[in-house]
Structure 1
Amino acid sequence: MFYFLSKAIDFLVMPFSIFLILSFCAFYIKNYKRKKLLLILSFTWLILISNSFLVNKAFNWWEFKYMNMNDLQKTYDVGVVFAGGMISVPSLKADHPVMGIHADRFAGSIFAL
């Protein structure tokens, strides 16, 4: 039961699902003003979530600002590794990979060795 509930909630909070729900509600509502408002909201939502620049800015706002390993003041004995997808190296001056289109902290920790 918990598995089904978690998958159902995951589907409902996905951005494209929110667009579909708003669009279906606008289709079934008889009131013209509410229908127009829901259609405007749904297509505005679709434009916002399909804009990769805005989505990347939101992801970067969520992530911690990265530092080069040479700039660290303290030596750490233990690190936490979160596995993920692909990596990208932003420039030749960076001594570690960063989050590109996908996050990959496992490879980042391997490169840190």
Structure 2
Amino acid sequence: MFYIASKFLSFFIMPMGILCLLLIYAIITKNRTKSKKATISAFIFLYIICNPFLNNELFLWWEVPPTSIINVKPHDIGIVLTGGVINEDKLPIENIFLGGSADRMGQAIELYKKGKIRKILISGGAIEILGKTQKLEIEEMAKYMIISGVAKEDIILEKYAQNTRENAINCSKILKKYFPNQSYLLITSGFHLPRASKCFKKVGLKVDCFGADYISHERNFNWYNLILPREGNFGSANLLFREVIGYNTYKVMGWI
């Protein structure tokens, strides 16, 4: 219930929610001047978040910069966080369909094959929504990793975490009990690393970071990139809003 309630509440402070509120206000208000201002504000807000250059600058500011795989020192355990890595709802079930965050898994496989990590700990459980539990994403990830050349005995599964804080707590328990005093490399999306790395630090687990699934790219000063909005940037802006909200919520709760 908390999960569902949080989704509804967060909607109204996300880009789509802000736009809806502005346009609803513009429609229902009887004051033509206020209606006009709300409509103009909605279009300005939409243009700003869909502007490729500004959108990219926001991600360059927020994401942890990528690390060259050549410069990564060998680690005993690579910790990969789930979340959009596998498209769990697509049929047929015997197929493994990769999701939008699959680069997390791809980077982990490459690190493993290049000897940068010896074992891979995948963390993330299914979330029960309205009494229905989704298929476990980590099991599909493990299957894909094995197909891709990772030895089965080198994969460790943590099946119960339902958020980043629980990722850190549960992984910490496993690593401190079974793999103490070893080196750990945290692998997740570049925009997720600021929150994730601090969660692991909070539970007393020292990790190095390796970013994946980057939204940002090198600066592009072409005129169309500076001026013309792109609809795809609306989705990425929504992603950044959610992560910044999550980061600050965790900070208020004392989890980072």
- Structure-to-structure mapping, 1:1-113, within 5 angstroms: 1-72=1-72, 74-83=73-82, 84-85=84-85, 102-103=100-101, 104-113=103-112
Q: How far apart, CA to CA, are the structure 2 residues paired with 1:60 and 1:50?
A: 15
Q: How far apart, CA to CA, are the structure 1 residues paired with 2:23 and 2:33?
A: 14
Structure 1 window deviating more from structure 2 (39-48 vs 27-36): it is 27-36
TM-score (norm 2): 0.33
Q: How far apart, CA to CA, are the structure 2 residues paired with 1:55 and 1:38?
A: 22
Q: How far apart, CA to CA, are the structure 2 residues paired with 1:23 and 1:54?
A: 23
Q: Which residue of 2 aligns with 1:97?
A: none
Read off the aligned partner of 1:3 and give its amino acid letter.
Y
Residue deviations 1:34-88 (CA, integer Å, cap 9, x gap): 222211111111112333443333233221111212224x4332232123449xx
Name the structure with the higher helix share: 1
Q: How far apart, CA to CA, are the structure 1 residues paired with 2:57 and 2:109?
A: 27
Read off the aligned partner of 1:67 and give its amino acid letter.
T
Where structure 2 has 5 or more consecutive residues not aligned to the other structure, the ranges are 87-99, 113-256
CA RMSD, aligned part only?
A: 2.5
Q: How far apart, CA to CA, are the structure 2 residues paired with 1:3 and 1:76?
A: 35
Q: Alignment partner of 1:81: what SS?
A: strand
Q: How far apart, CA to CA, are the structure 2 residues paired with 1:70 and 1:3?
A: 40
Where structure 1 has 5 or more consecutive residues not aligned to the other structure, the ranges are 87-101
Structure 1 window deviating more from structure 2 (8-17 vs 21-30): it is 8-17
- Which consecutive aligned stretches of 4+ in structure 1 deviate over 6 angstroms post-superposition? none
Q: Alignment partner of 1:64: what SS?
A: coil
Read off the aligned partner of 2:106 and give its amino acid letter.
A
Q: Which residue of 2 aligns with 1:94?
A: none
TM-score (norm 1): 0.67
Name the structure with the higher strand share: 2
Q: Contact 1:48–1:54 at 8 Å: present in 2 too?
A: yes
Q: Contact 1:16–1:46 at 8 Å: present in 2 too?
A: no
